[in-house]
Amino acid sequence: MTVYLLRRDELFFPHPEFADPDGLLAIGGDLSTERLILAYRSGIFPWYNNEPILWWSPPQRPLIFPMLFKMSRSLYQSLKKDIYKVSFDRNFISVIKGCATAPRRDSVGTWITPEMMEAYIKLHKLGYAHSVEVWFEGKIVGGLYGVSIGRAFFGESMFTLMKDASKVALACLVEHLIKNSFYFIDCQITNRHLLSLGAYELPRRVFLVLLDEALKKKDSIEWNKEPEPTSKTAKFLKEKLISRRIYEANSF
């Protein structure tokens, strides 16, 4: 299987179906805004520790469909108690730094290099990348960030310093995406944690069809909105998700 070498002076990606069995499609290129946007619109994302840049499109793609999000009993209680305050796009830089530096179980180092941080901060300033901040006593204790194009949200990373903080961020993001008719959250790489939150693995060809539909929708979404109590998120999600009968019997 061929892995393509990208030139910095040529804005191009091969079709995702040319990726190797692990999903590696291309090497090289740069992290310019134009290339990153083309990558996401093509179902491709960068993921690497050191140079060169590696571009991926895995054969199985995990997606969270907002209306199929799984909210556990413990997460529901954390939301209901209003322990945290949640905001959108208030401090993108702190969130991406938190994702890069927060300790992770069974993980050493980070793929969020200084070059990656610079590229995504630029995407944020241009209105493509967004963050969800979770606050406790005036400090950010968790959050997530990703890229939004059309009605598709491409999740990049999340972190937590307190119980359920990253899950609270995700739940509030899911509420926002439901209210704005988003198709899915692209989780990129499957793991058990994502599956426990309701992610479904779909073949790449199916994902690309859904992506094409989501990209046809307009980008005009209000992100930097006034935060609401998380108890309202708990109530909204419980009503919406139960109305679609997707709770497990022992959820509540």
User: Of 79, 93, 124, whose CA–CA distance to 228 is shortest?
Assistant: 79
Q: How far apart are CA 135 and CA 124, in angstroms?
A: 20
Higher pLDDT, 131 or 1: 131
The pLDDT of residue 51:
80
The pLDDT of residue 249:
43
Cβ atoms of 59 and 238 closer than 8 Å: no
Angle 209-236-129 from CA coordinates, rounded to 5°: 50
Query: Is the per-residue pLDDT at 247 higher than 50?
Result: no
Total number of domains in the chain: 2
Query: Which one of 17, 32, 57 terminates a domain?
Result: 57
Identity of the residue numbered 216: K
Q: Once rounded to an integer, what is the mean pLDDT over residues 145-166?
A: 96
When computed from its CA atoms, the radius of gyration of the chain, rounded to whole angstroms, is 18
Give the mean pLDDT of the chain: 91
User: Of 135, 45, 154, 41, whose CA–CA distance to 88 is shortest?
Assistant: 135
Same domain (yes/no): 68, 41: no
Same domain (yes/no): 86, 181: yes
Q: How far apart are CA 168 and CA 196, in angstroms?
A: 14
CB atoms within 10 A of CB 21: 8
The pLDDT of residue 227:
81
Angle 106-108-110 from CA coordinates, rounded to 5°: 120
Residue 248 lies in a domain: no
Same domain (yes/no): 189, 66: yes
Q: Once rounded to an integer, what is the mean pLDDT over residues 139-165?
A: 97
Same domain (yes/no): 103, 14: no
Same domain (yes/no): 40, 118: no
Ramachandran bin of 70, using left for φ above 0, alpha for ψ from -120 to 50, beta for the remaining angles: beta
Q: Once rounded to an integer, what is the mean pLDDT over residues 143-147?
A: 98
CATH number at residue 24: 3.30.70.3550
User: Of 189, 119, 178, whose CA–CA distance to 151 is shortest?
Assistant: 178
Residue 249 lies in a domain: no
* Per-residue pLDDT tens digits for 190-236: 999 899 999 999 999 999 999 999 999 887 788 987 788 999 999 99
Same domain (yes/no): 214, 175: yes
Same domain (yes/no): 32, 130: no
Same domain (yes/no): 102, 201: yes
Proportion of the chain above pLDDT 70, given as a percent:
92
Specify the pTM.
0.92
- DSSP assignment of 43-64: T-EE--SSSSPEEE--SEEEEE
Domain enclosing residue 79, as ranges: 62-243
Same domain (yes/no): 72, 130: yes
The pLDDT of residue 251:
46
CATH number at residue 231: 3.40.630.70
Same domain (yes/no): 38, 126: no
Same domain (yes/no): 45, 113: no
Residue 252 lies in a domain: no
Residue 167 lies in a domain: yes
Q: Which two tokens stand for residue 112?
A: 């969020």
Identity of the residue numbered 11: L
Sole residue written with tokens 């108890």: 231
Same domain (yes/no): 182, 212: yes
Residue 251 lies in a domain: no
Residue 250 lies in a domain: no
* Per-residue pLDDT tens digits for 97-131: 999 998 766 554 468 999 999 999 999 999 999 99
Proportion of the chain above pLDDT 90, given as a percent:
79
The pLDDT of residue 110:
66
What lies within 8 Å, CB to CB, of 104 at 6+ separation is none
Q: Once rounded to an integer, what is the mean pLDDT over residues 31-43?
A: 98
Higher pLDDT, 95 or 104: 95
Q: Once rounded to an integer, what is the mean pLDDT over residues 8-20?
A: 94
Which pLDDT band, with edges at 50, 70 and 90, does 246 fall under?
very low
